[in-house]
Amino acid sequence: MYDGGKIITGLIIFIGLMTFPVWHNGGNAGVLPKQEKPVGKTACVKPTVEMRTSHMLLLNQWRDEALREENRKPFTVDGQDYEKSLMVGCMNCHTDKKKFCDECHLYTAVKPYCWDCHFPPKENL
């Protein structure tokens, strides 16, 4: 006996599962994140490429230094002092959580746990 029907059904299910993103997206790449820079600012604490891939490392480092080692000395780059802080450092320039955090995090499905402790800035409430 062949059980051809079962085999073909199984294959169709397999191919259906394997191509899940294709039919889920339905040929629509969706909305791309708009990556903007804060208006009027020219420099960040690190080069753009590095910030784009590795900002989370710096945030972690700052958190550890500030909260666990009580080292709140400002972070100095090119003579410019930056507060070691998400809320009053980063978000000084990158003022808008929606625009500067969520835009990409939502797109890449990253859910940082910053906001487990921090209240998002008021304008976003």
Query: Shortest Cβ distance from residue 115 to other proteins (Å)?
Result: 13
Q: Is the dihedral of CA 113, 42, 47, 62 positive or negative?
A: negative
Using CB under 8 A as the criterion, which residues of the chain lie in contact with other proteins when the complex forms? 1-4, 7-8, 10-11, 14-15, 18-22, 24-33, 35, 49, 52-54, 56-57, 59-60, 104, 107-113
Token code pair at residue 9: 């059904």
* CA angle, 35 then 39 then 43, to 5°: 85
Question: 51 or 80: whose CB is closer to other proteins?
Answer: 51
Q: CA-CA-CA-CA torsion for 95, 98, 103, 104, nearest 10 degrees? A: 60
Question: 86 or 91: whose CB is closer to other proteins?
Answer: 86
Query: Shortest Cβ distance from residue 8 to other proteins (Å)?
Result: 8
Query: Shortest Cβ distance from residue 26 to other proteins (Å)?
Result: 8
Question: 20 or 119: whose CB is closer to other proteins?
Answer: 20
Phi-psi region of 103 (alpha: psi -120 to 50; beta: other; left: phi over 0): alpha
Question: 21 or 79: whose CB is closer to other proteins?
Answer: 21
Query: Shortest Cβ distance from residue 56 to other proteins (Å)?
Result: 4
* Strand partners for 80: 77
